[in-house]
Amino acid sequence: MNYIEILQAIIFPGVLFTIGMGFLFDWLDRKTAARMQGRIGPKITGPSGTLQPLADFLKLLFKEEIIPSHADKTIFLFAPALYFLAPLLSMLFIPIISLNPLAGFDFDLLAILFLLAFAAFVVAVLSYSSASSFTTIATGRLVLQYVSYEIPMVLAIITAALYSKSLSVEGIVASQNKLWNIFIIPFAFAVYIVALMAELEKPPFDIPSAKTEIVAGWLTEFSGRALGFLKLTKEVGYVFGSALAVSLFLGGGLGPALTGLPSWILYFVYFMVKLMAVGFLIFVLKTSLARIKIGQATELFWKILTPISLAQIALVLFLVQGGILVAS
Partner 1 sequence: MSDPTRPVRKEETAGLMKYSAENLVPFGPIHPALKEPEYFKLILEGERIVEVIPRIGYVHRGLEKAAEMRPWVQNMYMFERTCGICSFVHSLTYGQAVEGLTIYETPRRAKFIRTIIAEMERIHSHLLWVGLMGHWAGFETLFMWVWRDREIVLDLVEAISGNRVHKSMNAFCGVRRDMPEGMEDRIVERMKFLVERANYYKEIVDTEETMLERTEGIGKISADMAEKLCAVGPMARYVGLRNDIRLTDPYAAYDEVPFDIVTRKEGDVHALLKLRLDELIVAANIVSYAVQHLPEGPIRVKIPPVIPAGENSSHSEAPRGEIFYYVKSSGGRTPDRVKSRQPTMANLPTALALLKGQTIADVPVVLTAIDPCFGCMDRMSFMDLESNRQWTWSGEQLRQYGIRHYFPERAKG
Footprint of partner 1 on this chain (CB under 8 A)? 33, 36-39, 133-134, 137, 140, 203-204, 206-207, 210-215, 287-296
> Whose CA is closest to 132, among 210, 64, 67, 70?
70
Q: What CA–CA distance (Å, rounded) separates 290 from 285?
A: 10
Q: What CA–CA distance (Å, rounded) separates 261 from 186?
A: 32
Query: Residue 205 or residue 270: which is nearer to partner 1 going by CB?
Result: 205
Task: Kindly state the smallest distance separating residue 38's Cβ from partner 1, in Å.
Answer: 5
Task: Kindly state the smallest distance separating residue 203's Cβ from partner 1, in Å.
Answer: 6
Q: Is 10 exposed, middle or buried (0-12, 13-18, 19+ CB in 10 A)?
A: exposed
Query: Residue 217 or residue 228: which is nearer to partner 1 going by CB?
Result: 217
> Whose CA is closest to 52, among 31, 27, 28?
27
8 Å CB contact between 223 and 66: yes
8 Å CB contact between 179 and 263: no
Q: Is 122 exposed, middle or buried (0-12, 13-18, 19+ CB in 10 A)?
A: buried
Query: Residue 164 or residue 220: which is nearer to partner 1 going by CB?
Result: 220
Task: Kindly state the smallest distance separating residue 99's Cβ from partner 1, in Å.
Answer: 40
Task: Kindly state the smallest distance separating residue 277's Cβ from partner 1, in Å.
Answer: 21
Query: Residue 48 or residue 132: which is nearer to partner 1 going by CB?
Result: 132
Query: Residue 95 or residue 204: which is nearer to partner 1 going by CB?
Result: 204
Task: Kindly state the smallest distance separating residue 35's Cβ from partner 1, in Å.
Answer: 11
In whole angstroms, how large is the CA radius of gyration of the chain?
20
Query: Residue 5 or residue 299: which is nearer to partner 1 going by CB?
Result: 299
Task: Kindly state the smallest distance separating residue 144's Cβ from partner 1, in Å.
Answer: 9
Query: Residue 154 or residue 281: which is nearer to partner 1 going by CB?
Result: 281
Q: What CA–CA distance (Å, rounded) separates 153 from 319?
A: 22
Task: Kindly state the smallest distance separating residue 6's Cβ from partner 1, in Å.
Answer: 43
Distance set, CA 71 to CA 66, 133, 162 (Å):
11, 12, 44
**φ and ψ at residue 161, rounded to 5 degrees:** -65, -40
Q: To 10 degrees, what angle do helices 73-91 and 224-249 make?
A: 30
Task: Kindly state the smallest distance separating residue 292's Cβ from partner 1, in Å.
Answer: 5
Task: Kindly state the smallest distance separating residue 26's Cβ from partner 1, in Å.
Answer: 16
Query: Residue 38 or residue 47: which is nearer to partner 1 going by CB?
Result: 38
Query: Residue 90 or residue 148: which is nearer to partner 1 going by CB?
Result: 148
Q: What CA–CA distance (Å, rounded) separates 33 from 155?
A: 30
> Whose CA is closest to 20, among 96, 80, 116, 129?
96
